[in-house]
Amino acid sequence: MKRRDFLLYSALGGLALSTSGLISYGMASRHGDHGKRSLLSPSALPDGQPLQSLPRITNLSDRSDLFRSALTAAPSEVALGEDRQAHLWLYNHKVAPLIEVREGDDFDITLINELEQDTTVHWHGVRIAHQHDGTPWDAVAPGASHQYRHRFAEGSAGLHWFHPHPHEGTARQVAHGLAGALLVRPAKEVIPPEVEEHLLLVSDLRLTADGRVAPHTAVDWMNGREGELLLVNGQQQPYLDVAPGTTLRLRLINACAGRYLRLRLEGHELTLIGTDGGLIEQPQPLDELLLTPGERADLLVRISDQPDSGFQLASHPYDRGWMGPEPAHLSEVSPLLNIRTGNADVKPAVTLPDRLTMIDRLEEPSVRRQVELTEVMPGMDHGDDSSMMDHGDHGDHGDHGDHGDHGDHGDHGAAHGVQHDAGDHGDHGDHGGGHAAQDAHADHGGAGHEACPAMNHPRWIS
């Protein structure tokens, strides 16, 4: 038995008397009868449809250098096929909407909250003043509104995203579908215009049979929620038709709460040209790409010259340290997008610049210190049941502890990562333990913490 599983089962045993209902629901809901609540199967969703572009948020300004609009967070119904509806929470009733601006643009967005709970809009990856960053301490009450303003400076181009960040409400709101893409175009584009660009926002949902978002389980709180419905731009396994030899620019966002994406495109080499903070200095060839929750990546791939062929972009199994019995999908290949070639003439290869951008190097550190990180299960060493409710920093993450130190991309990662100070983005590698743990109170009241003897994972050192 793995050590983490031993700790998990020991903790569950110790909590059995006080939280038996929640624990049994949590375990069953992932490994059996789903807590007496039937879940919607992926087979109930349509698949194999043409890839849709992300729906755009309309710019209401008549100035070319100002993006002004409103985002309304509200309950929404989305068609799942001909006779089924999903009951979600969305911005402007759109699944994964897109805001597109340019370097130098001013930005003026009004959030209107039509939910029955506090919310915010956090601009994930944008270097922005804290009062406009949608932090948990700037919550917008039901029926209220809030204005976010920013100017996108030179060097801020890149793919970012936005989502709620209310105190102890992030997990529930993201699980209901509140997320969108924010694309900042450069003042001068260095990628050749013949490259065909597509934005791909990957998300997952867990719905009950009647189309409602299923509540979090105890296992979700421990491991990070992974929904059974894996979607690209709100679609299940769509397809993209291209001419043979087409060079694609796939701009990806992992908007899942806990799912790691180990991406491969069968029969093709990938070329990484950008990460969270924008372009990297030089293109990097890859066989596969690991995209953790909250991360973004900018990939180029030249599709095969072979006509009338199909190639699958898929997420392959990755061991992220699951506690307890693993769901079947963790050991399965999960298809995302099918790319198909037709009979058109083969497109020529595209030549990239040797250097895509210049990144300032970080200064050599003048102070070094050794930090020891430990993993502790609260309440394991003493009998005070109240300690079970203390998740330390893990239960709150109000200071963006769930938004990842994306600096693990070599030099370009350190310089061009998430563009926030370290305190703004925590360890996004465990976004599941971040977004999921944040909403313990929202789904379970005070018992939410008791249902989750989650590891007290130390976060970043600032």
Helix (H, G, I), strand (E, B) or coil at 195: coil
Q: 19: alpha, beta or left, given left = phi > 0 and alpha = psi -120 to 50?
A: alpha
Query: What pLDDT does residue 5 have?
Result: 52
* Residue partners of 274: CB distance under 8 A and separation at least 6: 158, 159, 251, 280, 296, 297, 298, 356
Yes or no: say if 246 and 302 are a contact pair by the CB < 8 Å rule: yes
Side chain identity at residue 147, one-letter code: Q
What pLDDT is attached to residue 310?
A: 97
Residue 405 phi, psi dihedral angles, 5° rounding:
-85, 95
Q: Among residues 394, 430, 432, which one has the least CA distance to residue 204?
A: 432
The pLDDT assigned to 425 comes to: 40
Q: Which two tokens stand for residue 98?
A: 């897109």
pLDDT tens for the chain, 462 residues long, are: 455 554 554 444 444 433 333 333 344 444 434 444 799 999 999 999 999 999 999 999 999 999 999 999 999 999 988 788 999 999 999 999 999 999 999 999 999 999 999 999 999 999 999 999 999 999 999 999 999 999 999 999 999 999 999 999 999 999 999 999 999 999 999 999 999 999 999 999 999 999 999 999 999 999 999 999 999 999 999 999 999 999 999 999 999 999 999 999 999 999 999 999 899 999 999 999 999 999 999 999 999 999 999 999 999 999 999 999 999 989 999 999 999 999 999 999 999 999 999 998 888 888 889 999 987 766 655 444 444 344 433 334 334 434 444 434 434 333 333 333 333 443 343 343 333 333 333 333 333 333 333 333 333 332
For 166-193, the DSSP string reads -TTTHHHHHHTT--EEEEEE-SS--S-T
Dist. CA 318–CA 217, nearest whole Å: 22
Phi, psi of 284 (to 5 degrees): -125, 120
The predicted pLDDT at position 375 comes to 79
Pick the CATH number of 66-185 from 2.60.120.10, 1.10.3720.10, 2.40.30.10, 2.60.40.420: 2.60.40.420
Determine the pLDDT at residue 258: 95
Residue 170 is predicted with a pLDDT of 94
